[in-house]
Amino acid sequence: MSKYVQTIRGVVNVEITNNFASDLGTTLGNYLGPGKRVIIGRDISIPSRMIKRSLTTGLMAAGLDVIDLGVAPIPVIHYNGDFYNANVVITISKYHLRPEKVDIMIFSDHEIPLNQKHAAKVPWNEIGDLRLVHEYRENYIKAVLKHIKTDIVNNKAFLIVLDSEEGTNKPFAPQILNELNCETVLIGSKDHELDDDFSVPHPKRISLVSELTTAIGADMGILLDNDSDRVVFIDPNGHIIRDQTILGIFAKYALEEHPGGNIVSSVVASLSLDEIISNEGGKLIKTSVDNVLNEIDNTNAIFGGDEPGMYAFPEFQNCFDAIFSVLKMMEILAKKDTTISNLASQIEEYNRTVFTIECENEKKNEVIEAFISAFIPENSINTVDGVRIDLEDSFILLRPSRFEPLIRAYIESKSAQKLQELTESVKMVIMSV
């Protein structure tokens, strides 16, 4: 379905209001034209439910037919776009870093102009239809199992600790794992303090999964976020495996299956990922954080992913899919008859730090210019998303946030001492502006 992904993010009832969502739906409908079909779904959060309803009425007011999947994971919603011959797929979910914000994601085959303007509504007798469907669950499950080597996974009979709270009476992930002969210990916490933060796996949840994974001797622990497009992997020793390490494992396997292919990640990609893909004869394409899925399609890539814990397998669908990522990891472990700890040990993990610095929007360009002046001579530079400076055995990346008055800094080095020196230098440059 998706050749292009557009994200609208804002504070609910402040930036993204019911009127905004309704007008957005009608604006989208005006562009597509009456009679077109849209798939829509959301996560479990109450703000997402409210905004989805307003967005749906706006779409119908423009004459579009809407197929509502209700509460479902993003990859499930996305997959069903093709099944229902939808022109556009829309998901609404809580932003993983700020609970007061929601993300409206629009998946389509080309960029859609979304500038808010006067939204023209159709006459009463041309209002679009609303259809609630339920077979989308079976559609996704059947498709997922067709794209995994189920015979070798079944034979391994994995023991998995899973933390997942999809908000449905019958969560997808446990059902699929059961189909693959896995013994699954499911944690679905009803602790309201933790539920509020479930879009990013809460430290208490991670600790619980880690301890339980070690205690029962599980093959791995898994945490899925609230809309199942992000995943955290924990090894049998209870250690969280870095996102960049998981990227390396998946990229290496993809290139073994498809030699010479393209791999897409963002400019935050580790030096290690560069080395792995180069050694395997592939090509790493670095793009902006918000453009990974688009670039996967543009370059016909065999795999793509990014932090935090987002992985896309175009062999199945071009969408960050945490559920499929778990199954693909099990396939790799079964095929190689190894453990996730062993796979992780084969991936170099370099010294890395990430931090944010408050910066007013009008000062961001000034900070970037000062940074370039301090570090650019004789170094490789990438400006596809902020500024990344590649040194001999290190890199520095400054990324101005699109939505917040922040600049995010990523620094990685093969030397712990150099990492500290670079970090201090970058902070001094930024603070001097």
CATH number, domain at 36?
Answer: 3.40.120.10
Q: Is residue 400 helix, strand or coil?
A: strand
Ranking 46-55, 346-355, 424-433 by mean pLDDT, the lowest is 424-433
Q: Is residue 46 helix, strand or coil?
A: helix
Rounded CA-CA distance 78/33 in Å is 21
User: Is 315 part of a structural domain of the chain?
Assistant: yes
Check residues 112 and 90 and name the one with the higher pLDDT: 90
The stretch 391-404 carries a mean pLDDT of 88
Number of domains in the chain: 3
pLDDT score of 17 more than 90: yes
Residue that is last in its domain, among 314, 349, 384:
349
Closest CA to 235 of 176, 289, 161: 161
Percent of the chain with pLDDT over 90: 73
User: Is 142 part of a structural domain of the chain?
Assistant: no
Closest CA to 15 of 47, 53, 60: 47
pLDDT score of 283 more than 60: yes
Ranking 119-123, 167-171, 377-381 by mean pLDDT, the lowest is 167-171
pLDDT score of 401 more than 70: yes
- Same domain for 361 and 323, yes or no, is no
| The amino acid at 356 | T
The stretch 145-155 carries a mean pLDDT of 95
Rounded CA-CA distance 263/272 in Å is 14
- Same domain for 158 and 27, yes or no, is no
The stretch 173-190 carries a mean pLDDT of 86
Q: Look at residue 158 in the predicted model and tell me its pLDDT.
A: 97
User: Is 280 part of a structural domain of the chain?
Assistant: yes
Rounded CA-CA distance 287/270 in Å is 13
- Same domain for 238 and 338, yes or no, is yes
Q: Look at residue 116 in the predicted model and tell me its pLDDT.
A: 64
Q: Look at residue 190 in the predicted model and tell me its pLDDT.
A: 46
Q: Look at residue 166 in the predicted model and tell me its pLDDT.
A: 60
pLDDT score of 7 more than 60: yes
Residue that is last in its domain, among 103, 135, 167:
135
The stretch 118-133 carries a mean pLDDT of 91
- Same domain for 408 and 266, yes or no, is no
Q: Look at residue 90 in the predicted model and tell me its pLDDT.
A: 98
- Same domain for 161 and 251, yes or no, is yes
User: Is 338 part of a structural domain of the chain?
Assistant: yes
Q: Look at residue 197 in the predicted model and tell me its pLDDT.
A: 45
What is the pTM for the complete model shown? 0.91
- Same domain for 237 and 167, yes or no, is yes
Ranking 107-116, 199-208, 307-316 by mean pLDDT, the lowest is 199-208
- Same domain for 234 and 343, yes or no, is yes
Expressed as residue numbers, the domain containing 425 is 351-432
Q: Give pLDDT tens digits for 296-306.
A: 999 999 999 99
- What is the DSSP code (8-state) at residue 313? B
> The domain that contains 379 carries what CATH number?
3.30.310.50
Q: Look at residue 169 in the predicted model and tell me its pLDDT.
A: 54
Mean pLDDT for the chain?
A: 90
Q: How confident is the model at residue 165 (pLDDT cuts 50, 70, 90)?
A: low
Residue that is last in its domain, among 349, 381, 397:
349
Q: Give pLDDT tens digits for 184-216.
A: 999 865 443 444 444 456 788 899 999 999 999
User: Is 236 part of a structural domain of the chain?
Assistant: yes
Residues in the chain: 433
245 vs 59, 315, 386, CA distance in Å?
A: 41, 21, 23
The stretch 269-292 carries a mean pLDDT of 95
- Same domain for 97 and 185, yes or no, is no
The stretch 236-260 carries a mean pLDDT of 97
The stretch 4-19 carries a mean pLDDT of 94
- Same domain for 90 and 176, yes or no, is no
- Same domain for 171 and 309, yes or no, is yes
Q: Look at residue 2 in the predicted model and tell me its pLDDT.
A: 60
- Same domain for 105 and 161, yes or no, is no
User: Is 141 part of a structural domain of the chain?
Assistant: no
- Same domain for 91 and 188, yes or no, is no
